[in-house]
């Protein structure tokens, strides 16, 4: 479904991704872990099409199409969803109106019928219950004055509503209590199907106690330096990332030298 | 204030003479006042860029428009009123659906007005009739500025206004339905000046809502020089709106003057979307203890448009409260101006005065000049003011686009979010819906083409939003 091949990306003069390669097949959940500053969030933003990042080399194929040639709204229409580490506040824009506007934009782009206000009410209410988000947050401005946990629930609500094929969750688990963590895990689990894939970007393995990934990757110095099964997350929990910063990992002796 | 300081420019037209206005039925005091005002204009000239309050707003282009006398246009309107032309009726539209007074080119048009449905004792209708029949209560309105006019346009209205609309509420009168006053420039007429005047007299403990709508057709570079005077007696409450939707080739100058008695409440909310050059002045005097005023405004200024808001709140009594939020959205090469001035006079202790101006620039060529000012001559006061100028938040734009919302629609959504704070101050129901429709229509041509028809649904969702945010007390009132 997703093929990232030797991706280099910079912001200004600083290279942040330095030859990152990754393949995610449909039906899989991948976890990308790594120390702060390793390029995790940059990867998420580059995949979603954020402006200031420049891709200087490499390619990203999504269902065989050149993902990097699409603008952000085209990527969303094609089924890519980014769960933000820091969801943006939109003062004056009612959450319910935002959700329906976005859903209908996706429907139009996908050639589906638009959803009217009444029908939407029912759909949104079902998803809201799933993520256990307070009802009043639907009528407030998007993320405006929401607590950290409420913002993340709103992200998962969007993920469930927009039914992406590839969900990329950027540190969605950070700062969450155990209940909210379960909501995120349940959301991802409910999205699991042979046709969809998820990339979980996370600093901690806490989320992975509720959500068993198919593959775990360690991102350091702007590239994947080690990949393995779920057991890799446990190993990281015990030993930390120190080893990846301090010495080249097995089979990838150049990884650290090219890092930031 | 010295007259010399205001003598900054003569009329640029060679051989300028102010045409005489007035009616045979005018009482003597009115004729004297008109002559005095005309003399003031001739002596002091029109404000230019050297005039501090007019630094950013040019009136020269408007002075190039022929200066026909107001009575001429009045006569023309009066003689042609048996069947008002179709385009005028189209322009007026259905309105808010309640009590409506229509003023055409500065003159009350009874055949277009619908003043029925008011409780007994309330006098609304033609200002020219009131001047002819019972002028006495109106005399103080022609001597509002005993120590000299603020500028020539204001004096010009005193000299030239012969008609308009009057709302006269006796003590205790309560009108629940909004009273709509539509001031319109004849679409088919040759370019001309008009000087409409609206007078609202609210007796003690009375209560009413007055919605002033200024309309004009595109393609007519006419000049409106409007004046609204509101006298709010003790414990009365007047909610006032100005919707300025003039033609995009027109010049619109309007002044609102309000005097507030003890424990009275006054609000005035502006939505300005029209005009090539527009300026709306507010001059509020809080002269009774514990009076409260709320002034809010939104101007949407597109390419080839200029809008100036000049606000003066004069705290002259103890314990008064004033609150203002003005927002501007400036697109293309449009130019916005905000001059906000709060004065707290000696003795006005316990004053609570707040003023905010926020502006959103949608293009690299858009400009705004904002000057909030505070002058405090009393102790024990709480006053704040602030101004901000910004552009759309790129993070917010990306967030929306990452959800599949196309770029132009994402922009429109963020702009509508920016203006909500002001629209939330508009009363729900027809007034709010009208304002929302105008805002959507004004923002749509540039930003969300292809999404027409969303307005209706927008209304319901936003209305919910506003009721919730109010109940949370986002803005205490």
- DSSP result, B272-331: E---SEEEEEEEEEE-STT-EEEEEEEEEE-TT-EEEEEEEEEE-STT-EEEEEEEEEE-
> What is the pLDDT, as a whole number, of residue B432?
95
Closest-CA residue to B300 (of B273, B326, B334): B273
Nearest CB neighbour to B413, from listed A93, A96, A162: A93
> What is the pLDDT, as a whole number, of residue B93?
83
Alpha-carbon distance A104 to nearest alpha carbon in chain B (angstroms): 9
A151 interaction partners in chain B (CB closer than 8 Å): none
DSSP alpha helices (H): ranges in B161-262? none
> Domain boundary at B288, B321, B347, which?
B288
Asked if B417 and A136 come within 8 Å (Cβ–Cβ), the reply is no
Has residue B339 been placed in a domain?
Answer: no
DSSP alpha helices (H): ranges in A56-197? 72-77, 95-109, 117-130, 148-162, 178-191
A59: contact with B, CB 8 A cutoff: no
Has residue B297 been placed in a domain?
Answer: no
Together in a domain, B129 and B276:
yes
Together in a domain, B411 and B264:
no
In angstroms and rounded to an integer, the radius of gyration of the C-alpha atoms of chain A is: 18
Closest-CA residue to A158 (of A208, A114, A96): A96
Alpha-carbon distance A109 to nearest alpha carbon in chain B (angstroms): 8
> Domain boundary at B258, B288, B318, which?
B288
> Domain boundary at B270, B288, B306, which?
B288
Alpha-carbon distance A239 to nearest alpha carbon in chain B (angstroms): 36
Has residue B306 been placed in a domain?
Answer: no
Nearest CB neighbour to B461, from listed A76, A97, A162: A97
Which chain A residue has its CA at the smallest distance from B396's CA? A88
Q: What angle, rounded to 10 degrees, do the helices at B394-402 and B407-423 form?
A: 120
Asked if B468 and A97 come within 8 Å (Cβ–Cβ), the reply is no
B393 interaction partners in chain A (CB closer than 8 Å): 88
> What is the pLDDT, as a whole number, of residue B74?
46
Has residue B147 been placed in a domain?
Answer: yes
d(CA B226, CA B37): 15
Nearest CB neighbour to B404, from listed A76, A87, A94: A76
**Contact between B139 and B219 (Cβ < 8 Å):** no
**Contact between B96 and B211 (Cβ < 8 Å):** yes
Q: In Å, how far are A166, B74, B92, B133, B254 from B185, measured between CA atoms?
A: 58, 12, 10, 26, 14
Optimal mutation site among A49, A76, A93, interface B, most CBs of chain B within 10 A: A93
CB count within 10 Å of CB B179 equals: 24
Phi then psi for residue A67, to 5 deg, are: -65, -35
**Contact between A20 and A215 (Cβ < 8 Å):** no
Alpha-carbon distance B329 to nearest alpha carbon in chain A (angstroms): 15
d(CA A95, CA A93): 6
> What is the pLDDT, as a whole number, of residue B137?
92
A100 interaction partners in chain B (CB closer than 8 Å): 461
Alpha-carbon distance B412 to nearest alpha carbon in chain A (angstroms): 11
Nearest CB neighbour to B418, from listed A72, A92, A106: A92
> What is the pLDDT, as a whole number, of residue A245?
55
d(CA A244, CA B42): 84
Asked if B414 and A75 come within 8 Å (Cβ–Cβ), the reply is no
Has residue B141 been placed in a domain?
Answer: yes
Supply the range of the domain harboring residue B176: 3-288
A122: contact with B, CB 8 A cutoff: no
Domains assigned to chain A: 2-246 (3.40.50.300)
d(CA B149, CA B155): 6
A77 interaction partners in chain B (CB closer than 8 Å): 404
A81 interaction partners in chain B (CB closer than 8 Å): 402
Residue ranges with strand state E in B149-236: 164-169, 179-184, 193-194, 197-202, 207-215, 223-232
Together in a domain, B397 and B282:
no
Q: How many CB pairs under 8 A join A and B?
A: 101
Asked if A50 and B398 come within 8 Å (Cβ–Cβ), the reply is yes
d(CA B26, CA B71): 13
Which chain A residue has its CA at the smallest distance from B406's CA? A73
> What is the pLDDT, as a whole number, of residue B89?
82
Nearest CB neighbour to A139, from listed B398, B405, B468: B468
| ipTM (interface pTM) | 0.93
Alpha-carbon distance B456 to nearest alpha carbon in chain A (angstroms): 11
Together in a domain, B261 and B398:
no
> What is the pLDDT, as a whole number, of residue B474?
27
Asked if A73 and B401 come within 8 Å (Cβ–Cβ), the reply is yes
Count Cβ neighbours within 10 Å for each residue of B51-80 and write b for 16 or more, e otherwise. bebbbbbebeebbebebbbbbebbebbeee
Together in a domain, B275 and B400:
no
CB count within 10 Å of CB B2 equals: 7
Asked if A92 and B464 come within 8 Å (Cβ–Cβ), the reply is no
> What is the pLDDT, as a whole number, of residue B2?
31
**Ranges under pLDDT 50 in chain A:** 246-260
Give the count of domains, chain B: 2
Asked if A93 and B469 come within 8 Å (Cβ–Cβ), the reply is no
Together in a domain, B144 and B279:
yes
Determine if the pTM surpasses 0.90. Answer: no
- Residues A92, A97, A100, A106, Cα dihedral to 10°: -30
| pLDDT in single tens digits along all 477 residues of chain B | 333 323 334 444 444 567 777 888 889 999 999 999 999 998 999 998 888 889 999 998 898 887 764 444 444 444 444 345 667 888 888 888 889 999 999 999 999 998 888 888 899 999 999 999 999 999 999 999 999 999 999 999 999 988 899 999 999 999 999 999 999 988 767 888 999 999 999 999 999 999 999 998 777 789 999 999 999 999 999 999 999 999 999 999 999 999 999 999 999 999 999 999 999 999 999 999 999 999 999 999 999 999 999 999 999 999 999 999 999 999 999 999 999 999 999 999 999 999 999 999 999 999 999 999 999 999 999 999 999 999 999 999 999 999 999 999 999 999 999 999 999 999 988 999 999 999 999 887 544 333 323 333 333 333 333 322 222 222 222
Assigned token pair, B195: 């000087």
Optimal mutation site among A53, A71, A73, A163, interface B, most CBs of chain B within 10 A: A73
Nearest CB neighbour to A101, from listed B396, B405, B419: B405
Alpha-carbon distance A83 to nearest alpha carbon in chain B (angstroms): 10
């Amino acid at each position: 479904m997703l093929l990232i091949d030797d991706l280099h990306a910079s912001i200004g003069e600083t290279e942040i991704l330095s030859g990152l390669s990754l393949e995610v097949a449909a039906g899989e959940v991948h976890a990308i872990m790594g120390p702060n500053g390793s390029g995790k969030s940059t990867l998420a933003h580059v995949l979603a099409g954020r402006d200031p990042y420049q891709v200087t080399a490499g390619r990203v194929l999504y269902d065989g199409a050149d993902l990097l040639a699409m603008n952000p709204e085209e990527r969303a229409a094609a089924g890519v969803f980014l769960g933000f580490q820091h969801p943006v506040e939109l003062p004056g824009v009612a959450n319910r109106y935002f959700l329906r506007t976005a859903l209908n934009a996706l429907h139009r782009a996908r050639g589906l019928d638009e959803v009217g206000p009444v029908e939407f009410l029912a759909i949104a209410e079902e998803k809201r219950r799933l993520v256990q988000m307070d009802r009043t947050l639907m009528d407030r401005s998007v993320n405006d004055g929401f607590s950290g946990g409420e913002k993340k629930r709103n992200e998962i609500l969007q993920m469930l509503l927009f039914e992406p094929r590839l969900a990329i969750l950027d540190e969605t688990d950070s700062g969450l209590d155990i209940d909210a963590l379960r909501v995120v895990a349940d959301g991802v689990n409910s999205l699991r199907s042979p046709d969809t894939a998820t990339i979980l970007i996370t600093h901690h393995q806490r989320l992975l106690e509720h959500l068993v990934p198919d593959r775990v990757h360690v991102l350091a110095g702007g590239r994947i330096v080690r990949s393995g099964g779920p057991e890799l997350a446990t190993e990281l929990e015990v030993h930390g990332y120190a080893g990846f910063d301090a010495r080249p990992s097995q089979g990838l002796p150049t990884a650290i030298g090219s890092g930031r | 204030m010295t007259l010399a300081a205001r003598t900054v420019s003569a009329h640029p037209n060679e051989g300028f003479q102010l045409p005489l206005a007035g009616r045979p039925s005018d009482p003597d005091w009115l004729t004297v006042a008109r002559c005095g005002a005309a003399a003031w204009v001739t002596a002091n000239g029109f404000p230019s860029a050297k005039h501090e309050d007019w630094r950013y707003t040019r009136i020269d282009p408007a002075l190039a428009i022929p200066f026909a006398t107001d009575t001429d246009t009045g006569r023309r309107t009066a003689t042609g009123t048996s069947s008002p032309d179709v385009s005028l009726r189209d322009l007026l539209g259905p309105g808010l659906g309640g009590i409506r007074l229509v003023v055409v080119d500065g003159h009350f048009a009874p055949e277009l007005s619908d003043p029925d449905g008011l409780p007994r004792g309330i006098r609304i209708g033609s200002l020219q009739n009131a001047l002819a029949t019972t002028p006495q209560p109106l005399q103080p309105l022609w001597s509002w500025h005993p120590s000299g006019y603020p500028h020539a346009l204001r004096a010009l209205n005193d000299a030239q206004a012969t008609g308009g609309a009057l709302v006269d509420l006796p003590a205790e009168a309560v009108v629940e339905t909004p009273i709509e006053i539509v001031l319109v420039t004849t679409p088919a007429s040759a370019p001309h000046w008009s000087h409409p005047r609206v007078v609202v007299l609210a007796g003690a403990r009375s209560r009413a809502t007055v919605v002033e709508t200024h309309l004009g057709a595109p393609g007519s570079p006419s000049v409106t020089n409007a004046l609204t005077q509101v006298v709010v007696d003790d414990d009365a409450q007047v909610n006032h709106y100005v919707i300025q939707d003039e033609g995009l080739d027109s010049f619109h100058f309007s002044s609102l003057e309000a005097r507030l008695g003890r424990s009275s409440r006054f609000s005035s909310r502006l939505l300005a979307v029209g005009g090539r050059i527009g300026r709306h002045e507010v001059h509020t005097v809080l002269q009774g203890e514990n009076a409260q005023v709320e002034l809010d405004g939104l101007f949407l200024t597109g390419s080839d448009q200029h809008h100036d808001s000049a606000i003066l709140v004069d705290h002259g009594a103890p314990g008064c409260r004033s609150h203002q939020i003005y927002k501007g959205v400036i697109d293309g090469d449009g130019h916005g101006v905000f001059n906000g001035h709060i004065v707290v006079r000696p003795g006005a202790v316990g004053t609570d005065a707040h003023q905010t101006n926020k502006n959103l620039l949608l293009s690299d060529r858009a400009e705004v000049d904002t000057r909030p000012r505070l002058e405090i001559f009393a102790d024990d006061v709480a006053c704040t003011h602030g101004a901000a100028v910004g552009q759309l938040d790129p993070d917010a734009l990306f967030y929306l686009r990452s959800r599949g919302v196309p770029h132009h629609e994402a922009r429109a959504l963020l702009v509508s979010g920016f203006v909500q704070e002001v629209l939330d101050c508009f009363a729900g129901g027809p007034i709010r819906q009208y304002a929302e429709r105008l805002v959507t229509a004004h923002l749509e041509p540039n930003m969300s083409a292809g999404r027409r028809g969303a307005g209706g649904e927008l209304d319901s969702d936003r209305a919910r939003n506003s009721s919730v945010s109010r109940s949370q007390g986002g803005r205490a009132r």
